[in-house]
């Protein structure tokens, strides 16, 4: 039996936004929902830590956080092609370890409440991987009801 779906906050399709825009969409309208506030704060900390370390990429966000569900459990996200924004200039082993820790799936879930997937597809496979994730993120659990997801650039 499929999980029940709550009404989505976004119309079908991909919606480019910022961390602040995500807050306005998925946190502010639910003022008293402390869990939503915590989830967004954790996402912002994780996002900020990656940026501070010089990591860029594209983040697709989805899950119950982008629905009207009260107190969602986590934020589902796919990080596409995480990379050093300035190449590998001055990248130390310690810096690389910090990035690895932030991109570790189990750590992202335990520390930041992110259900994190990393996609580093070869160029000739990008179309197929994007199509796969659009299918996963763009539909409800019933696999019929279309819904939207957010895209944020690091």
* R_g (Cα) of the chain, nearest Å: 16
110-143 tens-digit pLDDT? 999 999 999 998 999 999 999 999 999 999 988 8
Q: Are 23 and 40 in contact (CB under 8 A)?
A: yes
Token digits of residue 132: 């796969």
41-99 tens-digit pLDDT? 999 999 999 999 999 999 999 999 999 999 999 999 999 999 999 877 788 999 999 99
The pTM for the full model equals 0.94
Instruction: For 64-124, list the strands marked E by DSSP.
Output: 75-84, 114-119
Pairing of strands 75-84, 114-119: parallel
């Amino acid at each position: 039996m499929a999980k029940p779906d709550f009404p989505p906050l976004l119309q079908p399709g991909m919606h480019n936004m910022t961390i602040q825009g995500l807050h306005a969409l998925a946190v502010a309208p639910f003022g008293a929902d402390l869990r939503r506030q915590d989830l967004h704060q954790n996402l912002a900390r994780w996002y900020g830590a990656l940026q501070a370390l010089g990591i860029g990429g594209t983040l697709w966000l989805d899950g119950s956080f982008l629905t009207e569900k009260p107190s969602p459990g986590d934020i589902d996200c796919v990080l596409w092609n995480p990379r050093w924004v300035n190449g590998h200039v001055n990248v130390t082993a310690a810096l690389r370890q910090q990035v690895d820790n932030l991109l570790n799936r189990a750590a992202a879930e335990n520390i930041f409440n992110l259900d994190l997937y990393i996609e580093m597809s070869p160029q000739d496979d990008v179309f197929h991987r994007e199509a796969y994730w659009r299918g996963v993120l763009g539909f409800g659990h019933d696999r019929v009801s279309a819904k939207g997801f957010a895209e944020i650039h690091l």
